[in-house]
Structure 1
Amino acid sequence: MNQHHRCLICLGSNHNGVAHLKSAEQELEKISSGIHWGNAVETAAEDTASSGSYLNRAALMNTTLNKEKLIEEFKKIESRHGRTATGKQQGIVPLDIDLLTYDDEIVKPADLKKSYVQQALQSVVQ
């Protein structure tokens, strides 16, 4: 029997955000055994080469994937949405998916403190 893991994630996009987030949400639901989405929020770029605003959305998800496989799946989804190292250097982020927590492990403690993540997390029931 597969063990279920509870994860907190945050998605972001500063390029065609509505379309990229909607498509990514559909893909993420395929690798989740249950997902609760918070509201999408528009936030200013923070600590990046990007300018303008981002569309962010957080979720609480359950998955049977181990942490490494889950992150690998996130990277594949980002790639399918056009995310590249060159684009990121130019401030173009079609899709970013961050694993914030995995069960009781805080994976990205610095990200949890960022204001855009805090704003996105406000509507996610934990």
Structure 2
Amino acid sequence: MARIYISLGTNIDPVEHMQSGLVDLHEHFGDLTLSRMFESEAVGFQGTNFLNMVAAADTDMSIADVVATFKGIEKQNGRIRGEKKFSPRSLDIDLLLYDDEVCHQPIELPRGEILYNAFVLWPLAEIAPMLTHPITQQSYQYLWEHYDKSSQHIWPIEFEFPVLVSR
């Protein structure tokens, strides 16, 4: 059984897509550990603010199967493949960590944006503060404490989580 950490983000009908994505993740992975919901400014382009959070779950699926499941959930929520990297998203679900696996195929793990995007690092540090990054060997709490918080604007918000997903 692997412990996975999942980043979710959306800025198109964000409440609807985030709630739907969480319900879908719960259906595929069962119990989820959830960070608070965060709002952040778009990074890399001018656009409406994003909702972001991190979830954790346990799975027997392979990395490739987890990623395929995420792509299916994104597609159900209106995600169109081939979009520009920095553009609005109906739902973006990324695998951040799969236990302490370090690999480049089928995807890069740990996901690089953990170290440079506040909207990933802060919620990850919230639900796994003492877990260590498999490359830097520093805890996520330490990484967040030493992150340049002036580089990106992010703040926690109230959010109505789906009933099926306990917090």
Using the size of structure 2 for normalisation, the TM-score is 0.66
- Structure 2 residue runs of 5 or longer lacking an equivalent are 103-108, 130-167
Alignment match of 1:35 (pick from 23, 32, 55): 32
1:54 is aligned to 2:50: yes
CA-atom RMSD, angstroms?
1.9
1:96 aligns with 92
- Superposition pairs of residues 1-126 of structure 1, within 5 angstroms: 4-47=1-44, 49=45, 51-85=47-81, 88-89=83-84, 91-106=87-102, 107-113=109-115, 114-125=117-128
Say if 2:53 and 2:119, in contact at 8 Å, map to a contact too. no
Letter paired with 1:123: E
CA distance in 1, matches of 2:93, 2:123: 13
Report which of the two structures shows the higher radius of gyration computed on alpha carbons: 2
Letter paired with 1:41: F
Rate the CA distance shift 1:103–1:96 in 2: closer, same or farther, 3 A: same
Cα displacement (A) at 1:92: 2.4
Sequence identity (%): 27
User: 2:5 is paired with a residue of what secondary structure?
Assistant: strand
Cα displacement (A) at 1:62: 0.6
Paired residues, what number?
121
CA distance in 2, matches of 1:32, 1:50: 34
